[in-house]
Amino acid sequence: MNSILIIILIFISINYLFELLLDVLNLGHMSKAIPNILGDVYDTATYTKQQQYKTETTKFSFILGALSFVVIFLVLYFGLLGKLHAYITQFELSSVFTTLTFFGVLFIVSQILSMPFSIWSTFVIEEKYGFNRVTPRLFVFDFLKSILLAVTLGGGLIALITLVFQASGQWFWLIALTIMLLFSLLASALYSRVIVPLFNKQTPLTSGELYDDIKELAQKVGFPVNKIFVIDGSKRSSKANAYFTGFGRNRRVVLYDTLINSMQNSEILAVLAHEVGHYKKKHMWLNFALGGVQMAIILYIFNLFAQSTDLPIALGYSNATEPIFHLSLIAFGLLFSPIEHIIGIATNLMSRRMEYQADEFASNLNYGNELISALKKLSKESLSNLTPHPAYVFVNYSHPTLFQRAKKILGTVEQQTKK
């Protein structure tokens, strides 16, 4: 057996077992005593419901994780990716079309395999706990639109990168990096204007008591009030949310209608202040810069391996006499996965720091207590786990836990009252 393939199989097995271990630890930690300051989040009945929901979603992810692992392991073990490539080459397409066909087949197969799980999650689990608002019709339209997006954007990007790969040799990584950075800038500029409108309606707040309150806060912090939008999240789920997106002219804060309907105005302002905090602390640019550095490193290392035929051979294409972009890319991605995992942990660490900073920004505007009560409501309404395992949080959480955030915000509030 090919030694690179053995390494890849070991990596994906370790990765699977590691994630499984974290899930098991987290499940075991779920029913631990709730910290005092979070005692008022759930009443007894809702807490029971939360525990059932969490158990059910974790079991679901156990099954999904195990099946994905088995499928990927067998595909690699039997060299099916190499066989697929060999099959496609029979048609003697240009190499860009060979790559597009290859990824196209993988895309279709993965969509077919994941469809039953997506249906089960939406129409059985989320439905059972009262979250789901998606109708079968909306589900189908969402699916078709996301396919169309993936095919045009993903397909276009892959075609472009493949062309660059053939033409540029040792400078591939630098040219590809430039393309990827421009692409992600463009995507972030177009996200709210082009992509979100395919799925949701966003309306600027125009009048009313909430508008007046928001206007006052917006003026105080120097964030244009016409960049604050309400999105019809209730179309799909009863879960509430808010987010900040975009750069420069394209920046905006988006509040879910479900958030507005379930909270007091002062709590909505607190959430808004948190989101504006992300903007004030330049978190989008920081994320973009860090993402760019990460991409540069990955592309540079990939470039070192990409010209060899060892990677395609490891995936089962033993006739490889020249570099094959798509096979090398997948094999490299798998070999790089342990480092990717570490980068993911570092990214989450960074992201949690940013959340603390945004919370602090809101607390400094005197919204600390309201922010805590808003976060508690959000947790309650999405049946969040109040006692996740610390190891699970360390690896997987992009936001600190409710307990960590509440404790930190209370600290800031206390400092202010002393002043």
- Residues designated as active site: 275, 359
- Is the Cβ of residue 230 or residue 354 nearer to Zn ion in the bound state? 354
| Min separation Cβ 275 and Zn ion, Å | 7
| Among the residue ranges 149-157, 201-209, 308-316, 348-356, the one whose residues contact Zn ion (CB under 5 A) | 348-356
- Is the Cβ of residue 306 or residue 409 nearer to Zn ion in the bound state? 409
- Residues 208-247 interacting with Zn ion (rule: CB under 5 A): none
Contact 202, 192 (CB under 8 A): yes
b/e map 103-131, b = 16+ CB within 10 Å = bbeeeeeeeeeeeeeeeebbeebbeebeb
Q: Checking DSSP bridges between strand 202-204 and strand 242-245, what pairing results, if any?
A: unpaired
| Among the residue ranges 26-34, 107-115, 351-359, 379-387, the one whose residues contact Zn ion (CB under 5 A) | 351-359
| Min separation Cβ 199 and Zn ion, Å | 21
Token reading at 364: 């400094």
Contact 403, 37 (CB under 8 A): yes
- Is the Cβ of residue 95 or residue 241 nearer to Zn ion in the bound state? 241
Residue 262 and residue 377: Cα distance in Å, rounded?
Answer: 8
- Is the Cβ of residue 132 or residue 379 nearer to Zn ion in the bound state? 379
- Residues 36-75 interacting with Zn ion (rule: CB under 5 A): none
Measured in whole angstroms, the distance separating CA 245 from the mean position of its chain's CA atoms is: 14
| Among the residue ranges 1-9, 64-72, 113-121, 357-365, the one whose residues contact Zn ion (CB under 5 A) | 357-365
Residue 121 and residue 237: Cα distance in Å, rounded?
Answer: 12
**Which positions ≥6 away from 301 have C-beta within 8 Å?**
332, 336
User: Does position 358 bind Zn ion by CB under 5 A?
Assistant: yes
| Min separation Cβ 300 and Zn ion, Å | 31
Q: Checking DSSP bridges between strand 228-231 and strand 202-204, what pairing results, if any?
A: antiparallel
User: Does position 270 bind Zn ion by CB under 5 A?
Assistant: no
Token reading at 131: 């979250």
Compute how many residues bind Zn ion; rule: CB under 5 A. 2
| Min separation Cβ 355 and Zn ion, Å | 5
- Is the Cβ of residue 218 or residue 311 nearer to Zn ion in the bound state? 218
| Among the residue ranges 110-118, 128-136, 250-258, 347-355, the one whose residues contact Zn ion (CB under 5 A) | 347-355
- Residues 161-200 interacting with Zn ion (rule: CB under 5 A): none
| Min separation Cβ 278 and Zn ion, Å | 6
Strands across the sheet containing 242-245: 202-204, 228-231, 252-256, 242-245
By the criterion CB under 5 A, which residues form the site for Zn ion?
355, 358
